[in-house]
Structure 1
Amino acid sequence: LDPIVQEFQDYIEREGVVYAAFNEMFEQAPPPQNEDQAKVCCLGIRDYVDLMEMIDTNLTTAPSFGEGVSAMVAAVPYYGIISRFCNTPAGYNAFTHPGVNERFCRVFTAWHGYLTSAASTNVIYDGEGGWLGTAALNAMVQSAGGNPQQDTFDNFFICDTSDPHYGFKSYDELFVRELKAIHRAVVFPDDPTIVNSACSSTVHKLYYNLKKTDRFWIKNTPYSLNHILAEDDLVDTFVDGTLIQAMLGSLDYHRWRSPVSGTVVKTRLISGATHPNPPPTYYAACLDDDHTDLDVVSRSQDFVTAISTRALIFIQADEPVGLMCFVGVGLGEVSTCNVVVTEGQVLNKGDELGQFHFGGSTHCLIFQPGLTV
């Protein structure tokens, strides 16, 4: 094993509470109920020793292109490794334990180093599972709003098609690929009453009457401003306000663009739990009634805003919007938020704010009360 992974395994075996959790979660994990669930479970992992071996293998493996139910796991392989155990009491205890999170962070730091290296370009090729295969290129074009029947990857993204890897020096460079300016649509750039989307994403929830503090872990999860904004001194400004949350997929454009014109008031980076999955009771509640989402992360979108790694960018927008906040939330092994703006910087609608790196993520826009959103 890599020394980082070996130390992780040694820690599990040394710490009694952690050792118990890493054994019990295998006993508590239910078998998949159908073929789709089987595709997002690593059934070959029988115990924590197998788990460590799989983590070790992934240290030098970049995400490959996947389709269908398996696409989520292809994009975020470490999530795929542990997803089977996330709905168990022991799994929750294990993955929210500070010592475990510290060691996961070491693993992910090493993995991120690989994903930014030239070695990670071995998945940027034309073929099955490769990011330059026809299916992958078409999927990225379609995700950016193009028509794969008539649009090509190089029409939409800045790249060098004469290079074997299209000019991308690492997997991460491909992941944060830049759209050509003509395809970065800014809707009504001079109209302050129109707020643009900050990310290429799918709307998850529109939530009104935000509370300063709320029980964010219960069914029909409310949002808790104090937790999302990490008790920032501007929290009170948004009480009774409105929040819009949207999720990014692995194929989406992962750069953040300012939804408004205005001035950056301040930015903050908040460190969170690496795999902050809600308590099993939360999942049980989510699975009541007609809820059939197989993916733990997509079922936890609202919950993770309170405890995952996140970037806060407060912007004083032109009236009538006024003060608003962009919240970028990293998920699982992809808890990496890179802010590129600074306090006092003047923004035009559509200017870059930052990027998510290494995988799918979610984000929120928070507005003051009194606005009709």
Structure 2
Amino acid sequence: MNFDKINYIERKTKELKTENPPGEGFLKFLYYNPLGKLPLNLVVRKKFLTDFYGKKMSEASSKEKIKPFVQENCINMEESKKSVEDFTSFNDFFIRELKEGAREIDNNPEALVSPADGKVLVFNDLKETTKFFLKGDEFTIEEFLMDKDEAKKFHGGTILIIRLAPVDYHRFHFPATGQIGKSKLIDGYYYSVSPYAIKKNFRVYCENKREVSILKTEKFGEIVLSEIGATMVGGIEQTYKEGFVKKGDEKGYFFFGGSSCVLLFEKDKVQFDEDILENSKKGLETKVYMGEKIGKAK
């Protein structure tokens, strides 16, 4: 069986690149081989496997994995507040903080910025029915938010998905200045959010464990900020305090694993940058960095 490569655009250089995710062969087996369906449903999507692996990555013995991981993935440790030797576990390294100034925040009040380092897709029309389809899989805002009244605000709006790979910086931040409320936990499964998995079942965003909060802004209206749990993501930690927050302030972090942030916008509130829109139409993700402008207020 042939598999599409995971291609994306490196925005800084405009190069087309290919991602080689860890465990690529296993992901293909789970999502494309009929024999993979049983372990996927019985084991991989369940909480206990993710909890087990998350605990292993918090043990002191996991420190030995850090240096090879850094070298293999060419991670720039000059940006990190701690050196490789200072981390107490692989998870401690995974949730590393960056030095001040390592990410430049676009402070133009009209600019919407990326909440995280990762690869982004934008769907610019959620339609009045609050539904859109990707390869036949149905996604509804009502089901995603588990709140019928809240979903009505986003009819005809826009969805932005930013996917964090295991090699990325795993703290997420606020894309705009505003007032933030409490984060709501919606329990669910732990399916992978790799493109291999998403192409088979886009509904994982409605089925996976996730946290949802609402950021009320002057320039962009209300924004849904949602963090998605996934296979081997040991947890989602919210570090913010309710109330006023500034663009670029830290919101929280993911423990070990690759995951996604999903943002929903009201209709006609944001104009996303043309390159991101064009790449998304072609099914290509765009690699962006936290604080980088991705759109502007309409």
TM-score range, shorter chain: 0.7 to 0.9
* Residue matched to 2:82: 159
Give the structure 1 partner of residue 122 of structure 2: 205
TM-score normalised per structure 1? 0.61
Q: Report if aligned partners of 1:210, 1:239 keep a CA contact under 8 Å in 2.
A: yes
Give percent identity, aligned residues only: 21
Aligned counterparts of 1:111 and 1:313: Cα–Cα separation in 2:
27
Counterpart position of 1:362: 260
Q: 5+ residue gaps in structure 2?
A: 7-17, 272-298
- Residue 177 (str. 1) matches residue 96 (str. 2): yes
Mark the CA change 1:198 to 1:272 in structure 2 (over 3 Å): closer, same or farther. Answer: same
Q: Is the 8 A contact 2:54 2:234 kept in 1?
A: no
How many residues are treated as equivalent by the alignment?
A: 259
Name the Cα RMSD after superposition.
3.1
Q: When you count strand as a share of all residues, which structure comes out higher?
A: 2
For residues 328-371 of structure 1, the C-alpha deviation after alignment (integer angstroms, 9 at most, x for no partner) is 122222263222234x3210111111112211112222111132
CA distance in structure 2 between the aligned counterparts of 1:209 and 1:124, rounded to whole angstroms:
41
CA contact (8 A) 2:175 2:248 kept: yes
Q: Write the letter of the residue equivalent to 2:82.
A: C
Long gaps (5+) in structure 1: 1-31, 38-67, 74-78, 142-152, 278-293
Deviation at 1:275, TM superposition (A): 2.5
Deviation at 1:257, TM superposition (A): 0.6
Q: What's 2:251 paired with?
A: 353
Distance 1:357 1:313, change over 3 A: same
- The answer to whether the 8 Å contact 2:221/2:269 transfers is no
Matching of residue 341 in structure 1 with residue 250 in structure 2: no
Match for residue 310 of structure 1 among 203, 210, 213: 210
User: Would the alpha carbon gap of residues 261 and 106 (structure 1) be closer, same or farther in structure 2, given more than 3 Å must change?
Assistant: same
Superposed, which structure 2 residues align to 1:217-296 within 5 Å? 219=135, 221=137, 223-231=139-147, 233-275=149-191, 296=196
Partner AA of 2:258 in structure 1: G
SS at the partner of 1:259? coil
CA drift of 1:205 comes to: 3.0
- For 1:129-144, what aligned pairs fall within 5 Å after superposition? 130-133=68-71, 135-136=72-73, 139-141=74-76
Q: What is the CA-CA distance between 1:173 and the residue it aligns to?
A: 1.2
Aligned residue identity for 1:203: V
User: CA offsets per residue over residues 211-269 of structure 1, 9 Å max, x none?
Assistant: 555375x6165541012212364111111111111222222111111001111123112
- The question of whether the paired residues in 2 share the 8 Å contact of 1:212 and 1:239 is answered with yes
Give TM-score scaled by structure 2 length. 0.75
The answer to whether the Cα contact below 8 Å between 1:211 and 1:223 also exists between their aligned partners in 2 is no
Aligned to 1:194: 111
Letter of the aligned partner of 2:235 in structure 1? T
Between structure 1 and structure 2, the one with the greater Rg is 1
Provide, for residues 4-56 of structure 1, a one-character-per-residue CA deviation record: whole Å limited to 9, x for no partner: xxxxxxxxxxxxxxxxxxxxxxxxxxxx559x99xxxxxxxxxxxxxxxxxxx
State the Cα deviation string for residues 282-334 of structure 1 (Å, max 9, x = none): xxxxxxxxxxxx952353584322211212121111x2312111121222222
Using the alignment, how far apart are the partners of 2:129 and 2:234 within structure 1?
25
The verdict on how the C-alpha distance between 1:357 and 1:188 changes in structure 2, with shifts beyond 3 A counting, is: same
Which residue is 1:52 aligned to?
A: none
On the 8 A contact 2:53/2:234 being kept in 1, the answer is: no
Q: Kindly indicate whether structure 1 or structure 2 has the higher relative contact order, using CA contacts under 8 Å at least 6 residues apart.
A: 2
Q: 1:215 to 1:95 in 2, by over 3 A?
A: farther
Please identify which structure carries the higher helix content: 1
